[in-house]
């Protein structure tokens, strides 16, 4: 089995992938971006991929949600990964000399308070580990990377400040994706749906949510995304706390379809806390 993840070495995605697939014979495929991971799975270069989809501070990672549809992928597992971000510098750099921080967009967003308070400039990279590697490869002492403890160790960088995220209770939700649709195979605890209203009318989202309320199905994630077909048209990602084997979930899908909505099941899965 070949598993793709957001690389290079030292990324949170790599750590999550190694921990989740620890008991599986595998070949690794590190990728340069989230889109590259999804594309690798979609085009068959990898059997499975692991990508972040939501952070407890920053919210949904839209490129992942959109990529599920672009590459026709299914979710087979959800991973909750605790994230602690650190400010990494060259060994002899002074914290007071730092004027610019480098990292992936979600990590920069999770550390807004430190960036704002210290009036730091930012530079975006495709991963936390690529930012750390870039700091290692240059001679400047006024730049730092926001990355993991593993990245500091891997690239020989100094942790100038630990736990710099805005909220100590910082978690990232990863999903494991594949081309295989196995939603009906086993009992699961969650289901992700894509609901596309065929008509745009006042209260359409409310009417959709009322179906789940009436059936006592708890929803854990709701995200609207543009359909990219016409300005002002949206579809909705909805995650329900029931597997597709559950009769209430089957009934919810049937009712939504009877209302004229297009409903796609993007996955039925368990949650794993790493």
Residue 184's pLDDT band (cuts 50, 70, 90): low
Report field, pTM of the whole predicted structure over 0.85: no
For 189-232, write each residue's pLDDT tens digit: 999 999 999 887 788 999 999 999 999 999 999 999 998 877 87
Lowest mean pLDDT among 19-28, 60-69, 122-131: 19-28
**Active site (annotated) includes residue 174:** yes
Helix, strand, coil fractions of the chain, as percent rounded to 5: 30, 35, 35
Using CA atoms, how far residue 205 sits from 109, 121, 198, in Å, is: 28, 39, 12
Q: What percent of the chain has pLDDT over 70?
A: 97
For 249-272, write each residue's pLDDT tens digit: 999 999 999 999 999 999 999 999
- Choose the catalytic residue: 128, 172, 191, 236: 172
pLDDT given at position 24: 67
Distance in angstroms (rounded) separating the CA atoms of residues 106 and 109: 5
Using CA atoms, how far residue 233 sits from 150, 203, 204, in Å, is: 42, 14, 12
**Active site (annotated) includes residue 191:** no
For 237-252, write each residue's pLDDT tens digit: 999 999 999 999 999 9
Using CA atoms, how far residue 216 sits from 194, 247, 252, in Å, is: 19, 12, 10
pLDDT surpasses 70 at 23: no
Task: State how beta strands 27-31 and 2-6 pair.
Answer: parallel
Distance in angstroms (rounded) separating the CA atoms of residues 143 and 199: 51
Distance in angstroms (rounded) separating the CA atoms of residues 39 and 22: 23
- Choose the catalytic residue: 174, 212, 236, 237: 174
């Amino acid at each position: 089995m070949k598993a793709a993840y957001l690389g290079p070495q030292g990324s949170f995605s790599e750590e999550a992938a190694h921990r989740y697939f620890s008991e599986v014979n595998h070949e690794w495929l590190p990728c340069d971006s989230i889109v590259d991971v999804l594309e690798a799975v979609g085009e068959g270069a990898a059997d499975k991929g692991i990508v972040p989809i939501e952070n407890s501070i920053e919210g949904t990672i839209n490129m992942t949600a959109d990529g599920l549809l672009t590459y026709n992928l299914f979710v087979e597992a959800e991973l909750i990964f605790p994230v602690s971000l650190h400010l990494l510098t060259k060994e002899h750099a002074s914290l007071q000399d730092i004027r610019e921080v480098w990292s992936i967009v979600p990590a920069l967003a999770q550390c807004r308070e430190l960036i704002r308070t210290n009036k730091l400039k930012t530079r975006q990279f495709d991963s936390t580990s690529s930012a750390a590697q870039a700091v290692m490869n240059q001679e400047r002492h006024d730049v730092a990377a926001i990355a993991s403890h593993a990245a500091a160790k891997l690239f020989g960088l100094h942790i100038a400040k630990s736990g710099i995220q805005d909220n100590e209770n910082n978690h990232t939700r990863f999903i494991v994706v594949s081309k295989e649709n196995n939603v009906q195979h086993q009992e699961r605890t969650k289901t992700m749906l894509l609901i596309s209203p065929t008509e745009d009318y006042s209260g359409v989202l409310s009417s959709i949510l009322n179906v789940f309320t009436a059936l006592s199905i708890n929803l854990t994630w709701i995200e609207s995304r543009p359909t990219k077909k016409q300005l002002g048209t949206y579809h909705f990602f909805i995650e329900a706390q029931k597997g597709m084997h559950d009769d209430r979930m089957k009934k919810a899908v049937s009712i939504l379809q009877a209302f004229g909505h297009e409903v796609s099941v993007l996955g039925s899965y368990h949650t794993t806390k790493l």
